[in-house]
Structures are given as C-alpha cells and as structure tokens.
Structure 1
Amino acid sequence: MSAGSSPEEPRAPRATGLPHPTREGAEVTLERTVPARADRLHGRSRDRIRALDVLFEADAKQVDVLDVLAERLRVTAAQTPLPQLARELVELYAPYALDIDEDLETHSRDWPLHRMPAVDRAILRLGSAEVLYGESDTSRGAVIGEYTKIAEVLSTDDSPRFVNGLLQRLAEVRGLLS
C-alpha cells in the first residue's frame, strides 16, 4: 500500500473524460479543481486569462459580457486592475458573441456548447474572437498555441487537444466565417 492511500475505501478509477454527448442520460463527473500554475504562462497569456475570467463570469451569471467588463473595470476581484489587453479582447469578442457561438456549435462535431466545460467554452469563445476577428500582429498559429496552453493549465486533460483542433478548424475556414 502506498503512503497516501487509505485502507478504509478503495480508490475509484479516474474518469477517462467527459461522456459522449450522444449518450442519453450520461452524467458528467466533476473533477476536483486545482489552482493553475501561473509560472507556466507569460504576460500575454495571463492577460488572456483575465479576459477569460470576464467571459466565464458573464456565462455563469448569464449576463452580458460588457456589463461584467464594466463592473471589473470599476471593482476587480484580482489584486491588480484589469490589463488593457484583457479589456480589448473582451471588447473584440462582445459584438461577435452570437456569431462565435454559432460557429463553435457548427464546427465542434457533436459537442454543443452547453455540454462543454464552462472553462473550455470561455477559452473557445475568446480564442475564436482572436482567430476570426483579431487584427493582432501575432500569427494565428501562435494565438491558437496560447489558447491551447491555457487549456492545458486551466482545464481537463482532453481540453488542449479539443481547443487546438476546434480553433484550427475555425482558422481554416476563417475567410468563409468572418
């Protein structure tokens, strides 16, 4: 027996991922959350995460993202004010929110938005805004790589591959969508 295991109850096998959305009645097992290691991300990624926080909060509260942004600009839960890049990313996303959700639904292949983890939804929404509508000096591949890295740090083991694949798909059809 290893030092950390308990003799009273056997350890349940770890879930291999989210249930396939076509299975009726499939239950989603919530994983214990672990704070992300911020030392693995550089400044621009941290600014993106602050923008993701705004999208995540708006989604959870089911309110307009610009209302949450205005509130975060007045009062922030973080120790520092909302960075300018985070604000710009939320403002980039906001006017295209419905179009982005429709694009994600269309190209996610059997994964409706409401079945995705909330963190993945926020990552995909913001990443899609940058990939489809951003005028950044950063290449689309680098942007996709950053959102993939963010998913690796903040979400499930399967999320980075899913985020990368879906953002790549949207980048491929960018001319048709934007």
Structure 2
Amino acid sequence: MAEQPVDRKSTFKKLGARHKARRRAVDLLFEAEARDVDVADLLAERVELAGHDQSVAPVHAYTHTLVEGVADDLDRVDGTIESYLQDWALSRLPAVDRAILRIAVWELFHATDVPPVVAVDEAVELAKELSTDDSPSFVNGVLGQVVLVAPQVRAAAAATRAPRPDPRS
C-alpha cells in the first residue's frame, strides 16, 4: 500500500494575531539589542515608518504592549530569568532566546488575559520557529519554573494597584 502524501498546510496550525504580535516583538527586541539602540525608540521608529510607507506592516497593539512592558520591567524580568538558568548567564544565551524568554516572563507576570499555559506554549513555538533545535526544550524548562512563581508576582502587582481606602474616612 502506497503512502499518502502529507498535506503540509494542514500540519501547521494557523497563526493568530497575537502570535504574530509576539513574533514582531521578538524581532524588535532582538534588533534593538543587535544594534545597541533603545527598544522604545526602535518601536516608535517602526510605528512612524508604517504610517508613511504602505509596504511596512503596521505595528499591532499587542506588540506595543509587549515591547513597552518588557522595556519598563526589564530588570525584574532579566533577574527572574537569570535565577532559573542554573550555571548560565543571561548574556550567554542566544539573543533570540533572550527576547523570547523576556516576552514570556513579562506575559506570565503582567498579562492577566493570557493564561500561563498559552504564554509558555507561544514561547516554545517561537523558539521552534526562530532558534536552535535545543531552544524549545530549554525555553520550556525555564518557563516551567517561572510559572510556579507567576501567581505570587501577579497577586503582589494587583495588591499595589488596588485602590486603598481613604484614611480620612
């Protein structure tokens, strides 16, 4: 019996808008690091370019959220990643893996509308698309540890944002 040809289109899952936004955020973080420029400035440059050049895709709102969020919370995000690297330094990782991990950790800590399993799965998928053969399992391992502390980080952030009672009342 002859083997049936594989329909490659059906084997790939459809990429949603948020996946594309994450990928663009990875690209921007990677490029900013490679060029040694501020990622917020690079983002603003791309938004302006998309406004003037129809051949440049507009920057998705979620890409803005991710890039600005990572930039604003970079020290904590990097510190968290480093604490789970076990005998590795963040600077030794491939730059694309750093960008993927930064986005996923930021999402785990701040994106309350993104279930943790989705943040991890998306990061692993990006590592499959953009990095080395070993990267998906490495990214999954690091994020598997971060997932355990993410609820406490989210709860602490929510507590600091909660309105406090007026002491005069």
The reply to whether TM is greater than 0.5 is: yes
1:46 alignment partner, one of 15, 20, 35: 20
Work out whether residues 49 and 56 of structure 2, in 8 Å CA contact, stay in contact via their aligned partners in 1: no
Work out whether residues 123 and 147 of structure 1, in 8 Å CA contact, stay in contact via their aligned partners in 2: yes
CA deviation after TM superposition for structure 1 residue 177, in Å: 4.7
2:121 alignment partner, one of 121, 125, 145: 145
Aligned to 2:9: none
SS of 2:97's equivalent in the other structure is helix
Amino acid at match of 1:153: E
Work out whether residues 132 and 170 of structure 1, in 8 Å CA contact, stay in contact via their aligned partners in 2: no
Residues 1:55 and 2:32 are matched in the alignment: no
CA deviation after TM superposition for structure 1 residue 41, in Å: 3.3
User: What whole-Å deviation, never above 9, does each CA across 1:91-125 have from its counterpart, x for those lacking one?
Assistant: 22121001111111111112211110111010001
Unaligned runs of 5+ in 1: 1-37
Structure 1 or 2, whichever has the larger Rg, is: 2
Aligned to 2:93: 116
Map 1:1-178; keep pairs closer than 5 Å.
41-76=15-50, 79-136=56-113, 138-177=114-153
Amino acid at match of 1:42: G
Q: Which has the higher contact order (CA 8 A, sep 6+)?
A: 1
Work out whether residues 127 and 147 of structure 1, in 8 Å CA contact, stay in contact via their aligned partners in 2: yes
By percentage of residues, which structure has more helix? 2
Unaligned runs of 5+ in 2: 1-11, 155-169
When structure 1 is superposed on structure 2, of 68-77 and 116-125 the one drifting more is: 68-77
CA deviation after TM superposition for structure 1 residue 172, in Å: 0.5
Amino acid at match of 1:92: G
CA deviation after TM superposition for structure 1 residue 66, in Å: 1.0
Identity %: 39
CA deviation after TM superposition for structure 1 residue 63, in Å: 2.4
| Distance in structure 1 (CA, Å) of the matches to 2:131 and 2:14 | 14
**C-alpha RMSD of the superposition:** 2.1
Amino acid at match of 1:172: L
Describe the shift of the 1:142–1:175 C-alpha distance in structure 2 as closer, same or farther (beyond 3 A): closer
Aligned to 2:162: none
